[in-house]
Structure formats: structure tokens, C-alpha cells
Amino acid sequence: MKLLVITSDASFFRQIHEICRTVAPSLRVFHQSSDVWEAGCCAEKNIGAFVLDGAVGATRRDQKNCGIAFAVAWTVCQNMATDGGQMALSRDETVLWLRELSTMTTEPTFLEDVVVQSPHVRLAQFRIPTRCDLIPVIRDRLLRGLRDFQVVEGTRENHFCMALEEALNNAFYHGNLEISSELKEDGSSRFVDLAREREQLLPWKGRCVRITELVSSFGLWVSIQDDGAGFDVAAAIERCNDPEALLASGRGLLMMRAFSDEVFYNASGNEVTLVLYADSQDKELPLFISAETGEITKLALN
């Protein structure tokens, strides 16, 4: 759900932005100055809900209290405010309205395309917007494959969960949002604050994470690709071998290597593939029907 804040008052916009971060994180907040809006130039089309600064809408009075509201909200159709739809809100009412608006969103959290689905194998592709609150959601969805095909359980599943979350964090925070791990080291909230800010701004908010899942009774292969510039894989792995040069990002790479059976990177460093092989070596093999003889046999492992 998109929210357009129309104001030339920076303080008002900061208040709305902070409220959304607290009670309505799923809302994507955009800004337009009052002058631009009044000139009829609406950059964001088909936006369903707007908040107007009370100072700009001074002629729109709160009918109950006969005072200037904290904000005036309305919906838009064809980039024009709907007649009679304006709501004059106090600050507390604005908080409640934004919270309700957030729960009404019908936007999918991410796109999943199941290319192949059978009792023996699943191939799925995901396209995920750069929203860090989706990391636990997609992590749990990918871990479900381990249980669906009885790949591993217990300790190995728990360990792989940490490796998978580290790979997702790298793609969202370091790849698409381009935030340095060093910000996590000073104990402040700058790392999280910068992530929330960039999720709302171009070019970062226009990026996505693409994931390919291939899972069967033999194992799980997960490829995670971001839209970032990548990194020098060889140099990062070299740091992993030098304890004195080990940084937070290096520790993450070590975790992925330790808790996955195999880890692969593409040449540019913006895609990683984690592989986890099944515990059992005598999994039931799928059946194969010969096109020539019609004979039913089990697939052989080469």
C-alpha cells in the first residue's frame, strides 16, 4: 500500500514517517511538496490513500472540534481527490487510521512461481521486493522444503536456518541496500535506521531479490541473487582465513560455509547458492518409464 504525504513542512513529514515505521511498516511512504500538488503535478499515479498536512488544509476544519486538524486524509481516483472523502484527523486518529490502512493492504508480500511440482521434486522461483521485514517470511518458506521432502531435521535444519538467514541478510542489507557491516559494530541503531530509510528511496527501493529453490529427497539447492554491485569473493574468503582481518561480513561467510554442504558464488558476487544434502543415502528413487519398452524402473544415480 502506498501513502503520499503532501506537505512543505519537514517536521510534519518526519512525524508521519516515524508513525508509519512504528505502527504501519508495510506502508510505502512517498512525499510531494504542497506547491507541486496544488499545481496539479502528481508524480505517483493510482495511489490509494493520502495524508495532507493540516497547515496546508487550513480551510478544511475538523467539524467536531472546530479546529485545524493534525492531518487531512482522503483517497484518490484518477489523481483527483474524491469529493466528500476528506477526513480531518487529530494526531491520535491519524495513528489509528494509518494502522488500519496498513492492515487493509492487498499487495502480495512476494511473488512465487512453482515451475515444477511433483512428489519427488519442486522447482520454484521467487521475486521479492527490497523489504527487510520479509526476510523471516521467505526464510521460513524455504525451510519448509526441508520438511516437505524430509531432507534433514533437528540440528542440521537449525544450523542451515542460520546459514540461510545470513545469505538473505547479505542480499537485502548489503547487496540491495548497500549498507556496510561496520555500522552494526558501533552498537547504535544506525544500521537499522538507514535500512528503513533506503527502503523508501530510489534506487534502493526499486531493487528486488530473486531466489531459485530446487528441492528433492536428495537435498536442497537455494540460489539467492540481488541487484547490488556484488563483492570480491576471493578477497572476502581470504579475510575469512585471517582471524585478525575478520569482519562481520566475514563471519557471515564463515557461517554459510560451516552450516551448508556446499556454497557457490557467481563471478560478480551478487549471487550465492547454498546446498544441503539429505541425511539418508538410501532415499526412495523416483520411477522411470522407458519410452522404448514401457518398462518401469528406478532412476539410477550416476
pLDDT value, residue 4: 81
Q: Is the dihedral of CA 41, 44, 46, 51 positive or negative?
A: negative
Grid cell 541496500 is found at: 177
pLDDT value, residue 59: 43
pLDDT value, residue 212: 98
80, burial (CB in 10 Å: exposed 0-12, middle 13-18, buried 19+): exposed
Residue 53, amino acid: D
Q: DSSP H helical segments within the chain, as ranges?
A: 10-23, 34-38, 91-103, 135-148, 155-169, 190-198, 233-240, 248-259
pLDDT value, residue 224: 98
Q: What 3-state class would DSSP assign to 50? A: strand
- Write the CATH number of the domain with boundaries 111-277: 3.30.565.10
> Matching CATH topology for 2-103 and 111-277?
no
CA distance 271 to 265: 6
* Averages of pLDDT over each 10 residues, the chain, 302 residues: 80 87 80 75 49 53 53 61 62 86 65 91 95 91 94 94 95 95 79 91 94 96 96 83 61 89 95 93 53 56 46
So where are the chain's domains? 2-103, 111-277
pLDDT value, residue 246: 57
**Is the whole model's pTM more than 0.85, yes or no?**
no
User: CA nearest 4: which of 35, 40, 43, 39?
Assistant: 43
CATH topology of domain 2-103: Rossmann fold (3.40.50)
For residue 60, what is the DSSP state? S
